[in-house]
Amino acid sequence: MAEHADNGVNEIVGALSPRTGSLSGAFGARRSRAATRRRTEELPPASLAHKTPVAPSSRMLNCDAAVTAFAGAFLGCSVTTCLGAFGIASDIASASATLLLCVLARLTRTTGLLTDEFFPALYGGTFAGMTPIIWLGGSASGHPAAWMAALSISLSITCGLAFSVVATLDARTAAPVGAGCGGRSGAIAAAASLLFIQVAWWSGVDAGRFHNVQVGALNVEPWSAALGLLACAAGVFVTSFALRQPRIADGSASQKVTVASAAALSGLMILCLGDPHDANLRDDYYAGCFLGMSRLDRLKGWFRPVLDAFLLMILLLPVRALLPGIGGRLGLAAFAAVMMLGAANRAAAARRSPAMSE
């Protein structure tokens, strides 16, 4: 009887043991999963997945540069034309628009969201906005405000497209043409302004005032020429000194453009207080400011800036005569002066190197 009882107990235990084992295994697996989930939740987010960051493609970078350059040029040009509509002088409107927009971008902490192409394009857009679009108002048919607004938007779009194309080309080129030369943005703005005027003329708009050669601009008195040279040199040295400060030289594009526009605006306001009607003297100073934005290796010592300012004064005479009212012409003259002296220095260095080798 005892043996039969023991066998029955063993059969019952044996029958229950697989269920007990399966139940304990299920509870153990559940506890293991819960512990793993708790450990995972305690880990920092960076350790959840070890993924290798994927670098953005060159096409994405080119697109970002082109878009931000378009936005900067469009914004700078439109704001400058708006300020000019209130009767503010074009040069003061350009520097004021640049400084205002740069300060707003820094106060709102949006500079980090923009690429480096935005702020030079913004400054260049204000140069194109110096174009007196009111000279094209002769064909407005009873709606001058709407006509001026349409012209302003068209000029801003043309300028934005020009800077967008240049930004795309620069992103694809190892050594962009004219990189580090002061006035480069002004040269781009001058090309955009000329294209806008030409398209408006082809469309039947009266653009005769832009095509008239200003012969009187070539007649310069010695005293006014001396004052213009001093104004050019002052613009070069003031801007160059401000941008060569360590904190600014190592800073971002937004800092450099902000400082450059502040230096330009301060000098323009001083000259305007001295003689509000002497626009040529203000233009000389503003053109010198563009030249002073060149890289340090293009403005070495003190003699090179003076020589650049002298050449700039000479180039401003035909530029004023041949490109009346074209926005960006001051930057174009500064860019041409820097490029010409740079080419002359390279030619002289190439001529000296064979002589030294002999």
Lowest mean pLDDT of 46-60, 132-146, 152-166, name the range: 46-60
pLDDT at 75 over 90: yes
Confidence of residue 208 (pLDDT cuts 50, 70, 90): confident
pLDDT at 33 over 50: yes
Determine the Cα–Cα distance for residues 123 and 98; give it in Å rounded to an integer.
6
Segment 242-270 mean pLDDT: 93
The pLDDT of residue 18: 44
Residue 291 or 26, more confident: 291
CB atoms within 10 A of CB 29: 10
The pLDDT of residue 296: 81
Domain boundaries, the chain: 58-342
Segment 267-289 mean pLDDT: 93
Contact 102, 122 (CB under 8 A): yes
Residue 14 or 324, more confident: 324
Q: pLDDT digits over 195-207, tens only?
A: 999 999 998 888 8
CB atoms within 10 A of CB 283: 24
The pLDDT of residue 355: 55
The pLDDT of residue 304: 86
Query: Percent of the chain at pLDDT above 90?
Result: 50
Segment 34-52 mean pLDDT: 46
The pLDDT of residue 175: 82
Virtual torsion, Cα 149, 152, 154, 156, nearest 10 deg: -140
pLDDT at 42 over 90: no
Determine the Cα–Cα distance for residues 297 and 279; give it in Å rounded to an integer.
31
Which pTM value belongs to this model? 0.79
Segment 234-263 mean pLDDT: 92
Determine the Cα–Cα distance for residues 71 and 98; give it in Å rounded to an integer.
13
pLDDT at 49 over 80: no
Determine the Cα–Cα distance for residues 284 and 24; give it in Å rounded to an integer.
91
Q: pLDDT digits over 112-146, tens only?
A: 788 788 999 999 999 999 999 989 865 455 557 88
Q: Cα 167 vs. chain centroid, distance in angstroms?
A: 9
Determine the Cα–Cα distance for residues 80 and 131; give it in Å rounded to an integer.
10
pLDDT at 22 over 50: no
